[in-house]
Amino acid sequence: MQLGDVSLERVNTLLYGFAGEVVHPRGMVSLPLIMGRGTMRKTCLLIFLVVDVPFPYNVILGRPTLNTFQAVISTYHKKIKFPTPGGVGEVQGDPLQSRKCYVEAVRKGKKRMWMICLTRPLLVRKEKHLKEKTQKN
Domain map (residue ranges) of the chain: 15-111
pLDDT tens digit string along 9-65? 888 888 887 677 888 888 888 889 899 999 999 999 888 888 887 766 778 888 888
**Amino acid 19: pLDDT:** 74
Average confidence (pLDDT) over 4-8: 70
Task: Report which of residues 43 and 115 the model is more confident about.
Answer: 43
Q: Which amino acid is at 21?
A: E
Is residue 117 pLDDT above 50, yes or no? no
Q: How far apart, in whole angstroms, are the C-alpha atoms of residue 121 and residue 68?
A: 34
Q: How far apart, in whole angstroms, are the C-alpha atoms of residue 114 and residue 77?
A: 25
**Amino acid 135: pLDDT:** 54
Task: Report which of residues 37 and 97 the model is more confident about.
Answer: 37
Q: How far apart, in whole angstroms, are the C-alpha atoms of residue 57 and residue 101?
A: 8
Burial class (CB in 10 A: 0-12, 13-18, 19+), 73: middle
Work out the pLDDT band at 79, boundaries 50, 70, 90: very high
Positions of E strands within the chain: 15-16, 22-23, 27-37, 40-50, 72-74, 79-84, 87-92
**pTM (two decimals):** 0.63
**Amino acid 81: pLDDT:** 96
